[in-house]
């Protein structure tokens, strides 16, 4: 068969799963036993055969307002017909400014400007580049070192994986960025197991930043980046007082503090941002995911006036920041964001998440005592379960639980190693919380 004939015969086989290489997925196993969804509405996905699947993860921590919400769908449809694209280098369009204004209003005082990109990974790399360039613009070009944290996740760009602290995401990719160091992670099962909200133990771990300053000298450090609640390695709420301590040390040493709020933004912790919940404002805050309730890819970075203004001293015709993406401020994303913000406001979804936090935690904690459950952590509309691993096969228990949950129990959960995380759309009803964890228990029983 010629190459053209082979391609044509391939195209005639719509159910052939072979050609697609899925991200962060064991592809061989997936293709033998695929987990496919074909449609979604509100709290549910629907399998190709129409079976509803209760969404315990808001897709991937992102569809915070629920799926295919009419207001967002109509806004995207109308926008596609009105202005499909506008360049954001040297040009723009009105909705981009409107989104920026609303973001400034939604985020804590001290975050005065919004920069747009298309994903959380781009947002993290944007924030890191801004931090290094900020110090250079201020005449402190020696401040290039970036400090991340073990068990941190900041997407998959080279910047993000360098400051990130998940070894499988790092070890395949060479030497990464130079001049990076890491704070220790904040999880300690012996001290924190089965905590709701912020654990009492562990604030002192922020003082490790002082150790890194002593080691490297503040004059070499540009920024510290942390997720206020580490999400991807299993939902680790910050110890009480930890973030305040980090803020104090950053202030003391002229280091920029970056919060990666890609997961925690837009109501996940019962507030517009985790910064608001924890009463700590960073210099730069990344966001993505919930900004459009996942309906159109979008991300960005909010920055303080001091950061923006550091770049405003060149000649009038000169570009101030040599960074950006073709699709920064894409009209479809802007329309989706504006409609999403309206839904968040009209339905009081952040307040709803706050009001539901205790009920959600109660429902999750009904699994305490299950023989496979080693720890449960909850905060906002997040719950994570550490499962007892299968001996010698790290991640197998979690994977099997996730597969069983989808195929047999018709719920979608997020797996990370042997941890299963829940982060449902904020519109979840109390009865659905009960249903979610009852079905999860059955999945655990099946893989015990």
Q: Which is nearer to ligand PLP, 281 or 416 (CB)?
A: 416
Q: In the Cβ-directed half-sphere of 100, how many Cα atoms lie within 13 Å?
A: 19
Among residues 137, 62, 93, 100, which one has the least CA distance to residue 323? 137
Interaction between residue 262 and ligand PLP (CB under 6 A): yes
DSSP assignment of 52-70 equals EEEESSHHHHT-TT-BS-H
Residue reference for tokens 């995401």: 169
Token pair for 210: 């002082």
Report the C-alpha gap between 441 and 434 in whole angstroms. 11
Q: Which is nearer to ligand PLP, 128 or 364 (CB)?
A: 128
Interaction between residue 165 and ligand PLP (CB under 6 A): no
Token pair for 311: 């770049």
- Out of 64, 121, 340, 419, point to the residue binding ligand PLP (CB under 6 A): 121
DSSP assignment of 143-157 equals --EEEEETT----SS
Which window, 75-83, 95-103, 108-116, 119-127, contacts ligand PLP (CB under 6 A)? Answer: 119-127
Q: Which is nearer to ligand PLP, 273 or 432 (CB)?
A: 273
Q: Which is nearer to ligand PLP, 255 or 382 (CB)?
A: 382
Which window, 32-40, 227-235, 323-331, 351-359, contacts ligand PLP (CB under 6 A)? Answer: 227-235
* Residue 164: burial class (beta carbons within 10 Å; 0-12, 13-18, 19+): buried
Interaction between residue 55 and ligand PLP (CB under 6 A): no
Helical (H) or strand (E) element with 431: helix 430-447
Residue reference for tokens 């499962």: 387
Report the C-alpha gap between 278 and 167 in whole angstroms. 28
- Out of 231, 265, 380, 424, point to the residue binding ligand PLP (CB under 6 A): 231
Interaction between residue 423 and ligand PLP (CB under 6 A): no
Residues touching ligand PLP: how many (CB under 6 A)? 15
Interaction between residue 285 and ligand PLP (CB under 6 A): no
CA of 220: how far to CAs of 90, 142, 144, 180, in Å? 33, 5, 6, 11
- Out of 288, 372, 384, 421, point to the residue binding ligand PLP (CB under 6 A): 288
Interaction between residue 260 and ligand PLP (CB under 6 A): yes
Which window, 5-13, 95-103, 113-121, 239-247, contacts ligand PLP (CB under 6 A)? Answer: 113-121
Interaction between residue 155 and ligand PLP (CB under 6 A): yes
Interaction between residue 119 and ligand PLP (CB under 6 A): yes
Interaction between residue 414 and ligand PLP (CB under 6 A): no
Which window, 118-126, 130-138, 304-312, 381-389, contacts ligand PLP (CB under 6 A)? Answer: 118-126
Q: Is-contact 295 334, C-beta < 8 A?
A: no
Catalog residues that contact ligand PLP under the rule CB under 6 A: 61, 119-121, 124, 153-155, 227, 231-232, 260, 262-263, 288
């Amino acid at each position: 068969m010629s190459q053209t004939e082979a391609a044509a015969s391939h195209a005639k086989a719509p159910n052939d799963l072979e050609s697609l290489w899925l991200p962060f997925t064991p592809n061989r196993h997936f293709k033998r036993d695929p987990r496919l969804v074909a449609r979604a509405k509100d709290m549910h996905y629907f399998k190709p055969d129409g079976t509803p699947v209760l969404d315990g993860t808001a897709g991937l921590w992102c569809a915070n307002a629920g799926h295919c919400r009419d207001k967002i769908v109509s806004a995207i449809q109308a926008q596609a017909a009105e202005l499909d694209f506008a360049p954001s280098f040297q040009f723009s369009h009105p909705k981009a400014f409107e989104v920026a204004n609303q973001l400034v209003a939604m985020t804590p005082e001290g975050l005065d400007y919004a920069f747009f990109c298309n994903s959380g990974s781009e947002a993290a790399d944007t924030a890191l580049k801004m931090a290094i360039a900020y110090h250079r613009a201020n005449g402190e070009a020696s401040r290039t070192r970036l400090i991340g944290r073990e068990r941190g996740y900041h997407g998959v760009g080279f910047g993000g994986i360098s400051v990130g602290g998940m070894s499988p995401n790092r070890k395949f990719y060479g030497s990464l960025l130079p001049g990076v160091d890491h704070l220790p992670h904040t999880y300690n099962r012996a001290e924190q197991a089965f905590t709701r909200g912020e654990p009492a133990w562990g604030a002192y771990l922020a003082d490790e930043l002082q150790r890194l300053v002593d080691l490297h000298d503040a004059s070499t450090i540009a920024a510290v980046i942390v997720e206020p609640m580490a999400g991807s390695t299993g939902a680790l709420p910050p110890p009480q007082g930890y973030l305040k301590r980090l803020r104090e040390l950053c202030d003391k040493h002229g280091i920029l503090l970056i919060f990666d709020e890609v997961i925690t933004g837009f109501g996940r912790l019962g507030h517009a941002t985790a910064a608001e919940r924890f009463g700590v404002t960073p210099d730069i805050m990344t966001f993505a995911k919930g900004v459009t309730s996942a309906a159109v890819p979008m991300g960005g970075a909010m920055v303080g006036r001091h950061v923006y203004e550091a770049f405003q001293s060149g000649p009038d015709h000169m570009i101030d920041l040599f960074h950006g993406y073709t699709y920064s401020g894409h009209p479809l994303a802007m329309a989706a964001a504006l409609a999403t913000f309206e839904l968040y406001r009209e339905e009081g979804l952040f307040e709803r998440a706050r009001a539901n936090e205790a009920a959600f935690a109660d429902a999750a904690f009904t699994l305490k005592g299950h023989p496979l459950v080693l720890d449960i952590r909850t905060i906002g509309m997040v719950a994570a379960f550490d499962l007892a691993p299968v001996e010698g096969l790290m991640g197998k228990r979690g994977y099997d639980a996730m597969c069983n949950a989808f195929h047999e129990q018709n719920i979608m959960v997020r797996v990370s190693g042997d941890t299963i995380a829940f982060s449902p759309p904020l519109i979840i009803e109390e009865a659905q919380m009960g249903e979610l964890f009852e079905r999860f228990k059955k999945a655990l029983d099946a893989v015990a």
